[in-house]
Amino acid sequence: MKRRAFIAMLGGGAATWPLVAQAQQPARMKRIGLMANLPLRPIEAFRKKLQELGYVEGKSLIIEFRFAEGRDERYPAFAAELVALPVDLIAVWGTPAAFAAKRATTTIPIVIGAAGDVVNTGLVSNLARPDGNITGFIALSVELEEKRLELLKDVVPRLSRVAVLGNSLNPLSRLNLDAARRAAQRLSVAIEVFEVQSGRDVERALRAVVESRPDAALLAPDTVLLGERRQIADTMAANRIPAIYPFREYADVGGFIIYGANISVLFERAAGYVDRLLKGERPENLPLQQATAFEVLINLKAAAGLGLDVPATVLVRADEVIERRREFITLLGAAFAWPLTGQAQQTAMPVIEFLRSAALADATHLITAFRQGLAVRFAIPAIYEERQFAAAGGLMTYGANFAQSYRQAGIYTGRILKGEKPGDLPVVQSTGSSS
């Protein structure tokens, strides 16, 4: 009996040992490749979103980064390296990187974090059911060229000549240039094209732009140019050439006007696609999606350096009015923009900016929305211009004698920035005529 029991144990329980050992092994670590020009803000947004989705780099996920650093010709070799590793998925930023990945593999899923017109460049045949192994997100850069020229014409008086800086090796460049020419013809503006093929060509192209003395400049949505953003923005500022840019990152180095899709938002959405693909979904079942978030950023310090007054009609279209080292929130239609509490506590001198527009017939609903979104949530005080704002819960209101009102408001502003509480400062009416 004992012998038979022992044999039964060997035949039954022992046979399960390999299964138990397998069950105790950790899940295979996922490995993805990422090709881009430089590790800019959207790449960090992508990594952060993956972390929120439960991926831990070095434990459950390895990201193989490949950065071209201004040399698009490096992408084919990068793509071949990633395929050879191999990786489970390749994420890309930009049309050149996307084409390199497509040519390197027809089986490994490719996720576009941001690219331009993927259909007319031939990257895919349609958006709803993308070809084979490609999916992702589109920045709609070609469609925005006309609006960028329109913004320049609204800001630059007597605009007649515009320099266009682009990358001739980017398949998207021709489409962007065609769109810019159509828009220029409609707006009665002449354009002159200055092309580069790598980051090393940018200095030469900028010298040619300066020598041509254009009224303004338009930067193509290209990652090579983005990598040289500081040199480009500095050259435009030094030579007083108003320029409009396609990516938010140009604002960080003093760019004048930015209009385009929010690339960080696109990369966050791309991380969601990566998660779904790593969990077993197929690329052809994930449609290519177009950008839904676009933004206009205006740098008033840059405008002052260019000798330009940005019209109110343009300011009201801006999502943000920003300055280098002087970030503030602007409330159009009211009086003041207050620094965030954290910024006010820094040792750097706080800066207050305000814009005033024509008086509104009924701003109660606007100020109520403002208080809910900013003052209530972040406990940031604000000073307003017209009496109905106080009725909606505003801290202080001044009217009629605007010079006297703003003088007193400035005093209150200084006192609060030095630590006094808004609740300790009484609401004061103007001593002049009532509003």
Provide the residue-wise pLDDT of the chain in tens; the chain has 435 residues.
Answer: 444 444 444 444 444 444 444 445 556 899 999 999 999 999 999 999 999 999 999 999 999 999 999 999 999 999 999 999 999 999 999 999 999 999 999 999 999 999 988 888 889 888 887 778 999 999 876 778 889 999 999 999 899 999 999 998 888 888 888 889 999 999 999 999 999 999 999 999 999 999 999 999 999 999 999 999 999 999 999 999 999 999 999 999 999 999 999 999 999 999 999 999 999 999 999 999 999 878 999 999 999 999 999 999 999 889 999 764 444 334 444 333 333 333 333 334 444 444 444 444 444 455 555 544 544 444 455 555 555 555 555 555 545 545 556 666 777 776 777 667 676 677 766 555 444
In this prediction, residue 314 carries a pLDDT of 92
The residue with tokens 């009532």 is 434
According to the model, what pLDDT value does residue 155 have? 95
Q: Residue 351: what pLDDT?
A: 44
The pLDDT value given to residue 422: 75
Going by C-alpha positions, the residue among 310, 313, 338, 334 that lies closest to residue 244 is: 310
Same fold, 30-140+265-290 and 142-262: yes
Confirm if 110 and 35 have CB atoms less than 8 A apart.
Answer: no
Q: What is the pLDDT of residue 161?
A: 97
User: Looking at residue 127, what is its pLDDT?
Assistant: 85
What is the pLDDT, as a whole number, of residue 144? 87
Q: What's the CATH number of domain 30-140+265-290, 3.30.70.330, 3.40.710.10, 3.40.50.2300, 3.40.50.10860?
A: 3.40.50.2300
pLDDT of residue 352: 44
Are 191 and 138 in contact by the 8 Å Cβ rule? The answer is no
**Which structure tokens are listed for 184?**
């220029």
* pLDDT reported for residue 172: 86
Burial of 22 (C-beta count, 10 Å sphere; 0-12/13-18/19+): exposed
How many CB atoms lie under 10 A from the CB of residue 133? 20
pTM recorded for the entire structure: 0.68
Q: Mention the CATH class of domain 142-262.
A: alpha beta
In terms of Cα–Cα distance, which of 190, 188, 196, 144 is closest to 165? Answer: 196
**Domain segments of the chain: what residues?**
30-140+265-290, 142-262, 334-424
Please say whether the beta carbons of 148 and 218 come within 8 A. yes
Q: How far apart are CA 157 and CA 366, in angstroms?
A: 32
**What pLDDT, on a 0 to 100 scale, did the predictor assign at position 381?**
57
pLDDT the model gives residue 177: 87
- How far apart are alpha carbons 148 and 70 in whole angstroms? 24
Secondary structure, 3-state, the chain: CHHHHHHHHHHHCHHHHHHHHHHHCCCCCEEEEEEECCCCHHHHHHHHHHHHCCCCECCCEEEEEEECCCCHHHHHHHHHHHHHCCCCEEEEECHHHHHHHHHHCCCCCEEEEEECCCCCCCCCCCCCCCCCCEEEEECCCHHHHHHHHHHHHHHCCCCCEEEEEEECCCCHHHHHHHHHHHHHHHHCCEEEEEEECCHHHHHHHHHHHHHHCCCEEEECCCHHHHHCHHHHHHHHHHCCCCEEECCHHHHHHCCCEEEEECHHHHHHHHHHHHHHHHCCCCHHHCCCEECCCEEEEEEHHHHHHHCCCCCHHHHCCCCEEECCCCCCCCCCCCCCECCCHHHHCCCCCCCCECCCCCCCCCCHHHHHHHHHHHHHHHCCCCEECCHHHHHCCCCEECCCCHHHHHHHHHHHHHHHHCCCCHHHCCCCCCCCCCC
